[in-house]
Amino acid sequence: MDILGIETSCDETSAAVVRDGREVLSNVVYTQIPLHRPYGGVVPEIASRAHVEKIRQVAGEALGGRKIDAVAVTYGPGLAPALLVGVNAAKGIAKSLGVPLIGVNHIEAHLHSPFLFDPSDDKETLFPDPCEECPALGLVVSGGNTILVDMPKYGKYEVIGETLDDAAGEAFDKAAKLLGLGYPGGLVIDRITTAFLAENPGKELIPFPKGRPREGVSALSGLPAALCVSFSGLKTALLRYVQTHPELSLSGPDERDYGGRVVTPAAAHVIASYQEAIVGAVVDRVRTALAMRPRKAFILGGGVSLNSGIRKELTKLCAEKGVKLYMAKPKYTGDNGAMIAGLAMYRRRVEGEAAMRMDATPSLEIGDGETTAEEI
Ligand code: KG4
């Protein structure tokens, strides 16, 4: 079955056609990052206007004249004016082609991205059917979410940990803004950190807090603190460090290239210490989760899952525990239509009037109201 997937929940306009849930036939992504960069973050009205301008072209390119069996779309969570563009476009395409519509949860789709493969580049056997890999634990680390879930079977999600404040991606982006590294900040912080650590193995890092919430705080809403993260203390610690070290500067006589970005060694040391605090927090929570709920696989998704520290440490941890680790190919870590089209294979198809009533749901939660295809 070939499904067209449409994604417009934030700042990427994307569409893709995926066969049988995993084989990517096309994936077109138009990123709006340059439009939002001057504001240091995503501006919902600008995002919505850019989606309106691009959606026809992006969907047309992804379709490329192919015949499809259904249209899938992200209906939440995300920015309301951005989601609406995709949902309305998907309804229009489904109606005009006379095919069913499938609503997909964006966070759940990030957990499907490790199972997507490109027929021309990849060995299909390395990308199994996710149903066969459950029970599994999953982690979505992105610009908007940091969520740890237990998946007793594919399509069922129990949230077992999450962030109490910023998502991991926000923690990267806000630090980059504070340090003057530009937007978005994750990739540049990662590159500087990788180069700095390669050059200074074993160097003592600044002991920034490791994002562990206190037991019993009400924001935990019943979740165990050992499986949750909080990045607000880390951000404040970075701000204090900058304020108490006025000599710290990105540029100076000793500045040099760290992974494509020229900064001083002192700044690179701060940046690497900050990244390692985030990596340490994430990996520590995953280690605890695997001890509390041993599972045969661990599934990692979201834009921050591209981070080299997180990839390296989780690879080590899962090898140590004998757990199979699934990470998305780099091009499927950020927001993309392929993960929407792929997961749609496992979701309920809606036709006719019912499809036209589907609504954008900005605060949709993982596991909310989804029905797997085999249940209907
Ligand atoms: O998944 P995504 O496209 O957005 C949401 O669905 O929310 O993720 C975007 C986030 C941004 O915060 C960006 O800074 C971060 O992913 N990011 C990274 C890396 N590449 C992108 N964070 C850390 N290390 C990276 N290599």
Contact 113, 14 (CB under 8 A): no
Summarised one tens digit per residue, pLDDT across range 168-200 is: 999 999 999 999 999 999 999 999 999 999 999
- Ligand 1 centre distance from Cα of residue 146 (Å): 11
Summarised one tens digit per residue, pLDDT across range 274-315 is: 999 999 999 999 999 999 999 999 999 999 999 999 999 999
Identity (one letter) of the amino acid at 371?
T
| CA–CA separation, 151 and 297 (whole Å) | 10
76 lines ligand 1 (CB under 6 A): no
- Ligand 1 centre distance from Cα of residue 286 (Å): 19
10 lines ligand 1 (CB under 6 A): yes
81 lines ligand 1 (CB under 6 A): no
Query: Which ligand 1 atom is at minimum distance from the Cα of 334?
Result: 3
Looking up tokens 């304020």, which residue turns up?
A: 243
Catalogue the E-assigned strands of the chain. Answer: 2-7, 12-19, 23-31, 70-76, 101-105, 136-141, 146-151, 158-162, 256-258, 261-263, 297-301, 324-327
Mean pLDDT taken over the chain: 96
342 lines ligand 1 (CB under 6 A): no
Q: How many CB atoms lie within 10 A of CB 105?
A: 25
Question: What is the residue-wise DSSP string for 69-129?
Answer: SEEEEEEESS-HHHHHHHHHHHHHHHHHHT--EEEEEHHHHHTTGGG-B-TTTS-GGGS--
187 lines ligand 1 (CB under 6 A): yes
Question: Is the pLDDT at 165 greater than 90, yes or no?
Answer: yes
> What is the structure's pLDDT at 370?
59
Summarised one tens digit per residue, pLDDT across range 32-66 is: 999 999 998 999 999 999 999 999 999 999 999 99
Higher pLDDT, 216 or 158: 158
> What is the structure's pLDDT at 368?
77
- The tokens of 84 are what? 């609406």
* Buried b / exposed e along 52-66 (16+ C-beta atoms within 10 A): bebbeebbeebbeee
| CA–CA separation, 201 and 196 (whole Å) | 8
Summarised one tens digit per residue, pLDDT across range 101-149 is: 999 999 999 999 999 999 999 999 999 999 999 999 999 999 999 999 9
Atom 8, ligand 1: residue with shortest CA distance: 303
Question: What's the average model confidence in pLDDT over 243-259?
Answer: 97
Contact 100, 355 (CB under 8 A): yes
Question: Is the pLDDT at 152 greater than 50, yes or no?
Answer: yes
* Ramachandran class of 220: left when φ > 0, alpha when ψ lies in -120 to 50, beta otherwise: alpha
7 lines ligand 1 (CB under 6 A): no
Query: Which ligand 1 atom is at minimum distance from the Cα of 333?
Result: 1
Question: What's the average model confidence in pLDDT over 23-34?
Answer: 98
| CA–CA separation, 331 and 367 (whole Å) | 25
Summarised one tens digit per residue, pLDDT across range 62-91 is: 999 999 999 999 999 999 999 999 999 999
Closest CA relative to residue 134, chosen from 335, 372, 313: 372
Question: Any bridge partners for residue 150, and if so which?
Answer: 137, 158
Question: Is the pLDDT at 376 greater than 60, yes or no?
Answer: no
- Ligand 1 centre distance from Cα of residue 47 (Å): 17
- Ligand 1 centre distance from Cα of residue 81 (Å): 21
Residues in the chain: 376
Atom 24, ligand 1: residue with shortest CA distance: 307
Question: What's the average model confidence in pLDDT over 217-243?
Answer: 96
Question: Is the pLDDT at 24 greater than 50, yes or no?
Answer: yes
